[in-house]
Structure 1
Amino acid sequence: MKKMLSFFLLLLVMLGVAAGVGLWKVRQLADSKLLIEQETIFTLQAGTGRQALGVQLYDEKIINRPRVFQWLLRVEPELANFKAGTYRFTPQMTVRDMLRLLASGKEAQFPIRFIEGMRLSDLLKQLREAPYIRHTLKDDRYATVAEALKMEHPDWVEGWFYPDTWMYTANTSDVALLKRAHQKMVAQVDAVWKDRIDGLPYEDQNQLVTMASIIEKETAVAVERDQVASVFINRLRIGMRLQTDPTVIYGMGERYDGKLSRKDLETPTPYNTYVISGMPPGPIAVPGLASLTAAAHPAKTPYLYFVADGKGGHAFSTNLTNHNKAVRNYIRALKDKDGQ
């Protein structure tokens, strides 16, 4: 009887030691760093169970000891309430940190940048090339975009997407991102339109955006934007053609090869402001808020001309004689630069 009792006591001690060792291994795994050496994007599919999660983490070389991992989920069951999604793991994370992240549902955020001066075709190309975006547009036609977004003005498409860095989670659709950018642009344009000065020659908000897009393409110098706007407004008021190269380039589409010839300036398109009078039929690019503001608040100047000065800015003139002189100065500056 005493031998039997001793045996059971020994067995209990051994079981206790084994349990202690097992618990120590579980705690050790929980507090150990992930095996990754750089940020890693991890996608957990819906319906993944505990066993499958451990296998996936092991197969992707994020953890070792998958059997101990299963015990961790039993010892700390609150860590087993993971949610499907795409997550960003960092090398400093412990296994416990990782499981808490999976339980939080805080998915990885990815950036996409819509830049001032881009066309909608450029934005669509970015969306196609960006990772983890779900593509739902059947094609890149602007009419398709307008229909998918249920735009209030289906013909107001180009230029109507706010330039910004947009954050998204995996499986966000292209339409959802475009809708966010469009809604913000509508709100910004509405605010700028209500605050515009009196007497501007715009028939509607789309013409304001059109002017802002031309300003955006003509100068990147912040302090010049309202002066550039004044030149075009002054021209419109006296019936002078806008004669701005970016509109010609837009009208040429894929025919533009990086250079403009005299023939290009003389070839009619709906956007060639060397040929047409007044405003082109719509925006030629995405304008930023600064260009929208300049279009709504042009400077009060007598200027009718401007040309690059060779130093990153522009020289403004009130008459053709001074303008031609500024053009010669610009050409001279380019030659001097090439000679260096």
Structure 2
Amino acid sequence: MMLIFGLMLLLLLQTAACLEFNCRFNQSDPCYAALGHKLNLKMVDASIYHLKIQKRINNNPDDPVCRVKNDKIKECDLFNNRAEVTVINGTLIINRVIRADSGNYTLKLDGSNGTVTSTDLQVNVEAPIGSVEVSISCSSNGMKSVSCSSDGDQLIYSWTLNGESMMDGNTTIELNEETDGNIICSVKNHVSHGQKNIRVKHCPVIQMSLIALGCVSLILILLFITACHFYKRKQLQSTPAPAGDTELVYAQISHDKHKKSEKNKSESLPTADVEYAAVRPQTKRKEKKEEEVQYGEVTFTPNRSNALQESKEECVYSQVQRR
């Protein structure tokens, strides 16, 4: 495996524009190509041999074939007339690799003397690595969880803390509370690699706990105040408003006649008796504080001394004002 990676690094020419890979049909190791990037497949001198490149799908003569003669592509159904595929100086060049380019290929050489030789090559296409992202989360017990992620195919992860290697192959690692320093997540596959450096600090366990406790306490206090408010409001709404009070009002009423008759009778009649009668006023609401004028019907029974002079009951309406 280390030999493969070493060969891949030697063959990889990375520029600002694209990734470029060089492989040979007679190599024993698989050929890796980056999706969307350039692949050069070295064949032989196409001016000497008639070449036939066949992609083995079902291992039969009907598999796609591309014939090359005099350094030019002839009768090619392998690459479906793709303009980005050319042959230059005996090298098959694919300027923009697609996933369909993965597979097993056989190169057959037809010599001028009638000899036929063949060689095989395995081509693997992988998506290169995108940007590497690292995140840190703290748990309630002070432990730290560090996660790493990236785009691409066949990703391999590795970690280093303050320059020392840690476990490989995991996208997430757990660190204890005392861990501090620089941590690096490295991501690679057969066609690219990337890494991200991040600073690891202590998790503020006590501070986080106090903040959480304070928030919970505040919420409980607000809930209690709200519950008390609604309880009192419900009590007030459920208590029926008292009916209007009935009061007994005593009125001092004098038997007043017309002024003329009063003078005539003043000599013969005793002083008008003061009588008290119970008057039931109209019901009033508590909210009204203003004095109300009540009218009540009062029936007087004359004294025996006046029975001869006044034979009929008199109904006197008086304006009664509550005290």
Q: Give the TM-score normalised by the residue count of structure 2.
A: 0.17
Higher relative contact order (CA 8 A, sep 6+): 1
Structure number with higher helix proportion: 1
TM-score, normalisation: structure 1: 0.17
